[in-house]
Structure 1
């Protein structure tokens, strides 16, 4: 079992969640579409060679974003990350994948 966490502007919050849920991620027992989301502020500075969705090269950009956390079965994690990258507006989306211990 894994936990997938990612950061996304509000404009693409639902789009990214739906793309990831479509892979089967976010299931807990008899429930699907399970996620936790919190609002915060991210920042980044596009470097030379980048093609930023927001901001401009060499200037620090601060953006209201959401952090989304979902549980993910072992066999789905790669598909979930691919779906995230396809649905996310950023050239380089920030995400984390954590391996979880499962207790029964």
Structure 2
């Protein structure tokens, strides 16, 4: 909260997305500049799992109903993103993602190439 993005720092972007929406969300985030590593693009790692949530009063859930616990097959998707592309990648992710409040993590990375 309140953190500033350093445009020169590489970041790892991680998000959770329903299986049936994963390819569309990844495509949007790739188009915004995430998922590049060296001479490769569209790089990501994903692992299948199960997400759970209970929509509360005031929510407009894409899946499930208010006050009922929901479990959904999801992917955890991770990819690299340069700092100067992170705002656009996050905006693309939020626009393409079906959830009102997608779970997203962002970590700054250090360059270990010289270590």
Across the two proteins, how many residue pairs are aligned to each other? 104
TM-score, normalised on structure 1? 0.98
Q: What secondary structure is seen at the aligned counterpart in 2 of 1:40? A: strand
Task: After superposition, give the CA deviation of every residue in 1:75-103 in whole Å (9 maximum; x if it has no partner).
Answer: 01111110000000001111100111112
Give the Cα separation in 2 of the matches to 1:102 and 1:57: 44
RMSD over equivalenced CA pairs, Å: 0.6
Q: Structure 2 regions of 5+ residues with no counterpart?
A: 1-9
TM-score, normalised on structure 2? 0.89
Report which of the two structures shows the higher radius of gyration computed on alpha carbons: 2
Counterpart check, 1:46 vs 2:19 = no
Q: What secondary structure is seen at the aligned counterpart in 2 of 1:14? A: helix
Superposed structure 1 runs of 4+ greater than 3 Å apart? none
Q: Where does residue 88 of structure 1 map in the other structure? A: 97
